[in-house]
Structure 1
Amino acid sequence: MLLGRSFLFPTTPTRRHSRGLRGDKTASDIPTLLGMTGLIGLVSTLMVRRSYVSFPQLFFFICAAAVVWVGEKLDSGLLHDQRGFYQALPCDSAIIPTNRGETARPEPYSDAKHVAELDGHRKSYRHLATFVVTIGVLALWIPFMALNFSERSFQKIASVPSVMDHEYTPQVPVDVVINMYQEPVHKVVLLVSRLKALPNLGEDLRIHIYVKDNETDIDRARVDIGADEITQLQNVGREGQTFLYHILNHWDTLAKHTIFLQADVHNPREFYPRIRDYFDPARTGMLSLGWSGQVCNCNECGDRFGFWDTTHLFPQVYNRVYNSTKCGEVLLSYKGQFIASAKRIQGVDISVYRDLHDAFVNETSWAHDEAYLQGRPDSMSAPLFGYTMERMWDLLFQCNSIDVAWKCPTLLSGGRIGGDIGDCQCFDSYPGSMYKERRI
């Protein structure tokens, strides 16, 4: 508030009263500040990505605005006290020359009635302007505060219940699936050790390493990392193909929860706290460990990073996952790191995973065809389809709650006042979920 003036409505004080002109006051930025804050806040609460201003934020904001307003008033009063005032010169007054070439002062303007009328008009204008501005600010702030602090029942982006497999009984609590290429082994060792140190994961993790570099010494890596299983794969399909491969080849031995990662995790400083603070072994269904809050229209899905669903794959997958033709807005996932439960993984028919996996490994599939690529670079080891798959995990595991879109804090902030662990994930205990018979 003190670093500069409004760039939308410049109200820099002219300090005209410093020249001794009676009735001129310093302009204030406080009405502009309150008006723009109320407008932006109201618009935010009405959008999908809601605002959530906390009571402490509101309190200190009002205190800061009051301090600036009082300071302006005091500053204006001091300047008025230190300088005298002069009577305004009427616009029709003449400059009378003297015999010595000097300019004589005109006679003092004595039309007191006219001056009083002008002062009255000025005061009336100020009162009217103050009234209009006050009404405008209140018209913005009252609904903003009412919407911000009220509990509104949010309908799910897609009013279709999740389908989960409650018949499968996992034998292992947590699997860690790591896609590895040429990352140093000692970094993977550190990753595994830090995961095991998290209190809500524990030491009993089953580690699966998938290596896509032929130069890696598999046996040595298994010993150094302490992996339960290490598999050599062709360098095809990025991490998306690896995750689908694991699901297909461990369909009947999936852990209760599987942590899907790349050997070089993104945002490591925030990655471990996100698991520590949000993963619930009893309730977590789908927890993204990347950016959150991004949504797109299912039928025309794209984002600000240049991604665009040119083949309309999102509505096709949506229809197969939910067995529904309704398709509104969907959550997007990023970074290729997340935690999913066996209930949600097996809630989707296995044929969906097979078809997505085939799109990666089959050179003649639509994912490597020019109709999909449209001139964009593509290869088997670095497929363009990998970016689509990275964004589709939330949809695939039926985590499509609008609450996650606006409640989940950024990785950097970690948490928010009044938040809870349900802000960033979909629980398996969601009452609208449906059961399914296991299909293999």
Structure 2
Amino acid sequence: MSAATSPSERRVSARIGAISESATLAVDAKAKALKAAGRPVIGFGAGEPDFPTPGYIVDAAVEACRNPKYHRYTPAGGLPELKAAIAEKTLRDSGYEVDASQILVTNGGKQAIYEAFAAILDPGDEVIVPAPYWTTYPESIRLAGGVPVDVVADETTGYRVSVEQLEAARTERTKVVLFVSPSNPTGAVYSEAEAEAIGKWAVEHGLWVLTDEIYEHLVYGDAKFTSLPAIVPELRDKCIVVNGVAKTYAMTGWRVGWVIGPRDVVKAATNLQSHATSNVSNVAQAAALAAVSGNLDAVAEMRTAFDRRRQTIVRMLNEIDGVLCPEPEGAFYAYPSVKELLGKEIRGKRPATSVELAALILDEAEVAVVPGEAFGTPGYLRLSYALGDDDLVEGVSRLQKLLGEAKA
């Protein structure tokens, strides 16, 4: 569309037309389409557990379907009993004490992120975004009128940014810093000391912090999850926590997330949601209530499987010449550098970017991966290891065979 196009001629608004498709969902959709067409594609694109939702959670949803009280509108901000349970769960898991009035139940984590940014950003406000970042963060910031400012970390620091890097990016327009640990797409986990330093830096400069804790229970080895408002109490009046049931309870399709924050911000976000979607599906909320009120046995079983797969995928990726994969400490993603492979000949082609390399891998090895461009850092690939052990080994074995053919 040319710059001269008049508003009356523009079919899609400039604001919405500027949004990019979710790269991770696009890769997953393409892989599924190829599989449906009979090709033996193995997909490392989707960020969702390959386990079913625990039975007791499903049972709660079935019972809710039969309960007439769930057949009607409920408060836009969430079922009171679910908000109370989320408050209890937050204290149990994070050591962060909040009241139900500080909670908004949303249609998944994506809505929580957008509504949180929309509630605090004015046009032109800057948000510091550590990269590699999940694809939705910068788009949500832009939709809310803000300006994402990337701060890039690489494999040499385990994909963790420093306070010095954050300070170098801070300007008079900076309003928010995004903090994500464990991280999607890298699996990076900040130590308590690192997290505390970032939290205190934000307090010193009067900045807001939005922290995404969706992977809180998926940490491995000696790594530990740290909740910023729990360890930096003075940050709480300017801290928004985003979380949900998707990863911990294998409930990606149920679409239940939440925002925790200062009451005025949560009230504003709730007002927004009351016009955008009203209440989250009552059946899904009843399922989420069963999830957050129950124990963590299910996630413990998943974490054991993910840990095993984590070690396998890192070992196998690092056996490929030209691939360097740090060991992720959380979530369920590996984020190897493939910069040394770019420009090399692989089956008659010389991919110059990780986008081109990912396309080559899909065509030649029938393996779907997400290129680093989607996460703000070209030269990398993201592979989710939330898939069966046999498929994981087969998929990476195909990568080893294909990429092992690379030559100068």
TM-score by length of 2: 0.26
Q: Which has the greater radius of gyration?
A: 1
TM-score by length of 1: 0.25
Q: Which has the higher contact order (CA 8 A, sep 6+)?
A: 2
